[in-house]
Amino acid sequence: MEGYGLTETSPVITMNSPETNGRRVGSTGRPVEHVNVFIVDENGKPLPPGVDGEICCTGPNVMKGYYKNPEATEEVISIGPNGQRM
């Protein structure tokens, strides 16, 4: 079983299990329930499949910001292509 995530995503955003149809070596699977994953360019615009970019996500598991540190929060949390904070 493979997964991908960071501390800020508590802890996974995608998961690949042995039961998943279409499982591929090197893939971390599909987004977990209620999580949206976007690959975006340097301006935050979504990229088409197969194009390299930054992995961004939205969902109830993603941190809302750094505790009592609005400057750090503004550096890393932005509005996603779906209108939610990411």
Q: What pLDDT digit, counting tens, does each position of 9-61 carry?
A: 999 999 987 776 677 777 888 899 999 999 999 888 899 988 999 998 999 99
Give yes or no for residue 74 having a pLDDT over 90: no
Domain containing residue 52: CATH number:
2.30.38.10
Q: Is 85 inside any structural domain? A: no
**CA separation, residue 41 to residues 4, 23, 57, 82 (Å):** 20, 26, 13, 15
* DSSP for residue 21: T
Q: Is 14 inside any structural domain? A: yes
* DSSP for residue 7: G
Q: Give the structural domain span for 24.
A: 2-76
- Rounded Cα distance, 55 and 41, in Å: 9
3-state secondary structure of 79: strand
pTM of the model: 0.79
DSSP sequence for 26-45: T---EEPTT-EEEEE-TTS-
Residue 69 has a pLDDT of: 95
